[in-house]
Amino acid sequence: MAVGADHGGFALKERLAAELRDRGHAVTDCGTHSTESADYPDFAHAVARHVADGSCDVGIVVDGAGIGSAMTANKVPGIRAATCWDVSSAQNSREHNHANVLSLGAGLLGENLALQVVYAWLATPWGGERHARRVNKITEYEGRYLRGQR
């Protein structure tokens, strides 16, 4: 899995990456590597690229609110990034929307809740056929814009 954060999400990203490694997950750290000011789009894009090219199965991005990183990641074809603030939204994003990137707001979530959200997100399977029609429409609309159609 790929992880990345800006300066505001750095500490939480570090904690998440360590916990995930301790649980046996392979973690690709896309940065940032300090609390020096850094732009969230750079790290969200790096994580999204790893997921889109298949080098990582899922990604987690962290910034202050989780919104800008999700917006950035969703610009990469094939990415379905969801900003989640609780366990229910994390489970829904995976089961209903087949989310492949989780976006978290370090300024809005405490560390313990963020860990619960990550574990719930990773443990929740895609709902498959029940929701496939809608997710396929997301992919279809994305493809229209990639081909210059509307």
Domains belonging to the chain, first-starting first, are 2-146 (3.40.1400.10)
d(CA 66, CA 75): 15
Contact status, residue 60 vs residue 99, Cβ threshold 8 Å: no
Q: Which two structure tokens, joined as six digits, stand for 61?
A: 């991005």
Q: Which two structure tokens, joined as six digits, stand for 89?
A: 């939204």
Beta bridge partners of 11: none
Higher pLDDT, 24 or 129: 24
What confidence tier does 148 reach under pLDDT thresholds 50, 70, 90?
confident
Q: What is the pLDDT of residue 150?
A: 61
Q: Which residues are catalytic?
A: 96
Task: Tell me: pLDDT of 129 over 80.
Answer: yes
pTM of full prediction above 0.85? yes
Mean pLDDT of 59-66: 98
Residue type, 27: V
What confidence tier does 18 reach under pLDDT thresholds 50, 70, 90?
very high
